[in-house]
């Protein structure tokens, strides 16, 4: 899979500036700007429930209306037709409907039919097969989605998102309700996708997973960015206290690892 580059041969970046989202009179996101999302890295959005993390992903993907500037390389995402935007930016929501008789392969092909209807049958099958191979799902190609484990289902949905070869991949809680092994499998797959030259951004509630897998982290609070930076530098006890309202001990090992122990609620002053 070739690495996406712009007309100058530079790696494509996703840039988000001054993004706001309103639902009626309620402001969900206010003037959000992010550090450039770079190919090869995983960026994690963390914060309490209702902070605006999922809405931010939806705004970048074009699922909800927004104001502000969003550019993917030389493309103005807001100016792209919806189908073109969905092909450039893959989006995977948190909740997945498993009540379907489609097999894994059929589900991936159905996604390609929606986003790339001009492909020949041979091209469709080649893209779908490549996505399944990449995620180790080829033995399950004929298995119904409703017969998969939670982790396998997440990988199958991820294969749908990968089959049209998006430049950026946005995932909302891809490890939700998964056991430790399946969390690892999903995150390992995302690491491989990022290493292949794609932009990967995801919402995570588990700070331990963010510490282990994310290169960069963004703390979201009250519809805005509270702090952002490299995970090792930005994942601090102070940021955790101010965003999540819990006391935590953040330990750094001799390499690049970060470990978190949650100690409890802050003591009253």
pLDDT tens per residue across span 175-185 = 887 888 888 88
pLDDT at 226: 97
- pLDDT band (50, 70, 90) for residue 128: very high
pTM of the model: 0.87
pLDDT at 6: 55
Residue 162: strand, helix, or coil: helix
The CATH number fitting domain 13-95+168-264, selected from 3.40.50.720, 3.40.50.1820, 3.40.50.300, 3.40.50.2300 = 3.40.50.300
Q: Would you tell me how many other CB atoms lie within 10 Å of the CB of residue 48?
A: 16
Mean pLDDT, all residues of the chain: 88
Torsion, Cα 91 217 228 264, to 10 degrees, reads 120
pLDDT at 153: 85
Mean pLDDT of 118-132: 90
d(CA 249, CA 237): 6
Q: In this model, does residue 151 exceed pLDDT 90?
A: no
pLDDT at 47: 96
Higher pLDDT, 150 or 219: 219
- pLDDT band (50, 70, 90) for residue 101: confident
Q: Where along the chain do its domains lie?
A: 13-95+168-264
pLDDT tens per residue across span 201-235 = 999 999 989 999 999 999 999 999 999 999 989 99
pLDDT at 4: 64
pLDDT at 132: 92
Residues, the chain: 269
Q: CA nearest 190: which of 219, 221, 159, 234? A: 159
pLDDT tens per residue across span 28-79 = 999 999 999 989 999 999 999 999 999 999 999 999 999 999 999 999 999 9
Q: CA nearest 44: which of 199, 218, 170, 177? A: 218
Instruction: State phi, psi for 254 to the nearest 5 degrees.
Output: -70, -20
- pLDDT band (50, 70, 90) for residue 268: low
């Amino acid at each position: 899979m070739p690495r996406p580059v712009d007309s100058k041969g530079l790696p494509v970046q996703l840039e988000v500036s001054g993004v706001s989202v309103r639902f009626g009179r309620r402001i969900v996101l206010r003037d959000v700007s992010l550090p450039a999302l770079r190919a090869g890295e995983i960026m994690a959005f963390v914060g309490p429930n209702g902070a605006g993390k999922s809405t931010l992903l939806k705004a970048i993907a074009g699922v909800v209306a927004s104001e502000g500037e969003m550019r993917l390389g030389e493309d103005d995402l807001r100016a792209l037709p919806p189908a073109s935007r969905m092909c450039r930016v893959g989006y995977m929501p948190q909740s997945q409907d498993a009540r379907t008789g489609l097999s894994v392969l059929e589900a991936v092909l159905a996604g390609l039919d929606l986003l790339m209807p001009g492909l020949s049958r041979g091209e469709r099958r080649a893209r779908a097969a490549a996505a399944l191979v990449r995620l180790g799902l080829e033995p399950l190609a004929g298995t119904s989605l409703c017969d998969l484990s939670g982790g396998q289902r997440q990988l199958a949905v991820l294969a749908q998102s990968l089959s049209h070869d998006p430049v950026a991949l946005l995932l909302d809680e891809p490890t939700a309700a998964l056991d430790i092994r399946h969390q690892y499998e999903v995150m390992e797959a995302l690491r491989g996708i990022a290493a292949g030259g794609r932009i990967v951004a995801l919402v995570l509630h588990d700070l331990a997973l963010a510490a282990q897998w994310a290169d960069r982290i963004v703390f979201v609070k009250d519809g805005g960015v509270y702090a952002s930076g490299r995970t090792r530098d930005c994942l601090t006890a102070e940021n955790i206290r101010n965003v999540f309202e819990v006391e935590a001990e953040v330990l750094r090992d001799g390499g690049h690892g970060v470990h978190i122990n949650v100690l409890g609620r802050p003591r009253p002053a």
